[in-house]
Structure 1
Amino acid sequence: MERAERPTWGRYALAGFVALVVATNIAGVFWARLIESSPTALIALSSRNRYLALALGADLPLISYWIIGPARIIVAFLICHMIGRAYRTTALDWFTRYLGVDPSSLDAFQRGFDRASIIVVPFFVGSNLVAALSGVRLMSMVRLLPLLAVGIIARLALIQWLASVFDSQLTAFLEWLQRYSWWAVGASVVLVLAINWRNVRGGPAR
């Protein structure tokens, strides 16, 4: 019954998610090189906190930070939201499989989400599971988008502040990275392959 009700646009959301996963893996492998040559490309590929902070340490223009960073987060969140809206509980099974979340924990999280979505969405603005859950619970865009905006602004402002506080440490790390960037790429290849292998095997041990 659930399959017959799935909208046709759901497959496009899935294709978008696959593209995001590929982009994230590229960033995960080549971040040490991209942070030197094109920090803009790095945060377009992935908006992980560490990449955002390193990009600021590499003198990424603030206008790029505040345009590309939010855009990447919004795209990822909305794609996962649409997957949740289209595939409902099946989508939650996909996401929680890779996170190793047991059913009882997921049920408790869903109940908490319904009661405290006004806090959960902004606080976990980078969470694919929260994004999918917002779609499963059919949260309206009128309610979702303002919460998403608050979370993104708060997150990026905090990272910018921390990057300014630890500017000298970021600079020292980036100088070290210039000497050993290819070693970092090699280590990143191993790490990305290990994470993907774990995900394919069904997530971390419970």
Structure 2
Amino acid sequence: MIDNISFPIIFQMFVLLNPMSSVPILLAAHRNKLDVRRISMQAVLVAFAVAATVAVLGPVLFTAFSISVDSFRIAGGIVLLLLGIQTVRPVPRDISNVTEADSISSLIATPMLTGPATISYITVKTIDFGRVAVVVNLTGAFVLVGIAFYVASRTISRINVKIIDIISRILGLFLTAVAIQMIANGIAGIIHSWV
């Protein structure tokens, strides 16, 4: 189990999950006098369940639809790239009409944490390293997300939104780099298969 731990992959997954992007939603929940800690922990559990399911079942879809791994690397890389660009240049979300704790948890769990980009990345890594390794590293990444959310819930009234925004944009730059590497690997794999 310990042999499957990869800190670079855990860091990449943490960057991809980008808990900082969910902080404004938690702030809105706090203003509506909702239980921020329960909302954030519930979101982490739901998102982890979705991500782990993708790690287990994702590769099966390749066989079912006859998709090549390198093609999916390129497609997944493009999705990651779009998310990275969106993170660097964030689009404001209208969450003023979300007042139920369960609705906010669902919004954070998916698509904020486990969206199309996360699903693409997990599927590719599962093919590269196997289900066990990916689930182990996913667990590590989600533990870090849980810690980040716990700290945020404890200090919610003192959070500086501008600092959170800066950190989120920096994570977006890392995510963009990961996306470009995925696309490059996919293109290289396809070219190699033609030669």
With normalisation by structure 2, the TM-score equals 0.38
Structure with higher Rg: it is: 1
With normalisation by structure 1, the TM-score equals 0.36
